[in-house]
Amino acid sequence: MFDLKGKTAIITGGGSGIGKAAAQLFAKQGAQVYIIDLDSVAAADTVEAITKQGGNANFYSCDISNQQQVHQVIDGMGKVDILVNNAGIAHIGKADTTSEADFDKVYRVNVKGAYNCLHAVLPLMVKQKGGVILNVSSVAALVGITDRFAYSMSKGAIQAMTFSIARDYIEHHIRCNCICPARVNTPFVENFVSKNYPGQEKEMFEKLSKSQPIGRMGTVEEIAVLILYLCSDEASFITGCDYPIDGGFIKLNN
């Protein structure tokens, strides 16, 4: 089950966190993995880890907010079976405390970045008469979270794009779904906490962990397994869906 032999997969933000775990798991299942990440050092480390385990992977240093760069990377691939739109950035702030520059930055990376990858990949998938797209959204797209205005906006857009792509390309045998993780223990979260709560890292980490009824953050491996399933042939009847993976955050918080 979940065999990806002969398939080509692009994973954005594959240098660390959820993207790295997904890249390693996809390669383990036989996929040719292409990592797109602005951090070339982290991406190279992921590729090295994969090749040491006998997998096949390459990376491209690319700013996904730049459509020309994205097309330069993807157009030459010729065949793309799977796209995982995972790359993203966070931000703290309410509507009236979020600067225009910060709002634009979150939009460029989280929303336009995903769109640019879709813009490049979809013609290839249409031509080959099939493909799978998995967008990484967030519980912030589904419930109100304090001080996450721009981030929630961007993840809500990811969810809406998922439904639109699923509807528009179903006749081309292209499936599109998204997942909505709650807090996951990643370098992304660690950097976020240290940047925004200096001197309170331990307390904030515990607070964020306990905000999920299950009592802890998720692991990147747990998220990667769901991504693998939704991108595999075993999920061939699933499209246009959003999947919370949240330790009970949405339904069990009273």
Q: What is the pTM of this model?
A: 0.94
| Domain ranges for the chain | 8-182+219-243, 187-217
In this predicted model, which residue has the larger pLDDT, 209 or 113? Answer: 113
> Please, which pLDDT band fits residue 205 given cuts at 50, 70 and 90?
confident
pLDDT at 191: 82
Q: What is the pLDDT of residues 47-87, one digit of tens each?
A: 999 999 999 999 999 999 999 999 999 998 989 999 999 99
For the annotated catalytic residues, the residue numbers are 151
Q: Is 8-182+219-243 a CATH 3.40.50.720 domain?
A: yes
The span from the CA of 145 to the CA of 1, in Å, is 37
Average pLDDT of the residues of the chain: 96
Three-state SS string over the chain comes to CCCCCCCEEEEECCCCHHHHHHHHHHHHCCCEEEEEECCHHHHHHHHHHHHHCCCEEEEEECCCCCHHHHHHHHHHHCCCCEEEECCCCCCCECCCCCCHHHHHHHHHHHHHHHHHHHHHHHHHHHHHCCEEEEEECCHHHCCCCCCEHHHHHHHHHHHHHHHHHHHHCHHHCEEEEEEEECCECCHHHHHHHHHHCCCCHHHHHHHHHHCCCCCCCECHHHHHHHHHHHHCHHHCCCCCCEEEECCCHHHHCC
> Please, which pLDDT band fits residue 254 given cuts at 50, 70 and 90?
low
CA distances from 70 to 65, 86, 209 (A): 8, 14, 35
